[in-house]
């Protein structure tokens, strides 16, 4: 009679091989995220966590796949875990899923499908980056702080409309309001300094501006 509670355990050599493959793939993903991601957070610090997440996931899968009882226990344990730190940007969530997927794949001994899948994902992102990159432009984060009026939605739409007269595309990132101040954060591409000067003059002329600041995306900490 087959004992479903205890299945054959993985050998130490197989475990080491899986961990090495997972580490290599996760380091490649972390390197890509650190150098080419567009997240506003500290990318270098976040990238260091991806290999650890992959190795931990691989180790967990390797352990629980040898025992049905451990698998059921893992489901029960995860059901009571609550993560209170929110992922602020979708790009971070995407790379977290990639790191977890690598751990799941190598932990389940699906080495070649995992390697091929990760390489295809990184290749697709690299090709997309090359096709969408515009070398003459500067990628900037624009922070605008202005007095918050009664019609916040109308003011927000007006600022968007004025910005679009100076830049071709507008990537809105964040809105904060506190103590009567409305703060807007955008990611924009601008080709020359004169356009930035015209943009600043236009905003100051048409809105109750408190502060305007630009941060070059390539010079962010971790960028």
pLDDT value at residue 138:
66
Contact 195, 166 (CB under 8 A): yes
Instruction: Report pLDDT digits (tens) over 95-145.
Output: 999 999 999 899 889 999 999 999 999 999 999 888 876 544 567 888 898
pTM for the whole structure:
0.59
Percent of the chain with pLDDT over 90: 26
Instruction: Report pLDDT digits (tens) over 138-191.
Output: 678 888 988 876 566 788 888 888 888 888 878 888 888 888 888 888 988 776
Contact 183, 124 (CB under 8 A): no
Q: What is the DSSP letter of 134?
A: -
Domain locations along the chain: 12-132, 138-219
How many Å is the Cα radius of gyration of the chain? Answer: 24
| Distance from C-alpha of 22 to C-alpha of 25, rounded to nearest angstrom | 5
Q: Helix or strand or coil: residue 141?
A: strand
pLDDT value at residue 2:
45
Token representation of residue 181: 């101040």
Contact 85, 33 (CB under 8 A): no
50 has pLDDT over 90: yes
User: Looking at domain 138-219, which of 3.30.420.480, 3.30.70.260, 1.10.240.10, 3.80.10.10 is its CATH number?
Assistant: 3.30.70.260
């Amino acid at each position: 009679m087959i004992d479903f509670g205890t299945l054959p355990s993985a050998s130490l050599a197989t475990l080491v091989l899986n961990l090495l493959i997972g580490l290599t793939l996760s380091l490649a993903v972390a390197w890509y995220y650190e150098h080419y991601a567009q997240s506003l957070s500290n990318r270098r610090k976040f990238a260091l966590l991806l290999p650890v997440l992959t190795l931990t996931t691989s180790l967990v899968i390797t352990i629980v796949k040898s025992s049905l009882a451990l698998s059921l226990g893992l489901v029960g344990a995860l059901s009571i875990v609550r993560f209170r730190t929110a992922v602020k940007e979708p790009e971070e969530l995407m790379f977290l899923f990639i790191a977890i997927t690598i751990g799941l794949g190598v932990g389940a001994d699906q080495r070649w499908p995992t390697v091929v899948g990760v390489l295809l994902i990184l290749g697709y992102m690299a090709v997309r980056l090359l096709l969408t990159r515009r070398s003459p432009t500067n990628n900037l984060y624009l922070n605008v702080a202005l007095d918050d009026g009664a019609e916040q939605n109308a003011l927000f739409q007006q600022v968007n409309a004025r910005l679009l007269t100076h830049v071709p595309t507008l990537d809105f990132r964040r809105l904060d309001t506190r103590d009567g101040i409305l703060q807007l954060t955008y990611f924009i591409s601008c080709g020359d300094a004169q356009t930035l000067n015209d943009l600043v003059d236009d905003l100051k002329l048409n809105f109750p501006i408190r502060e305007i600041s630009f941060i070059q995306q390539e010079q962010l900490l971790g960028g």
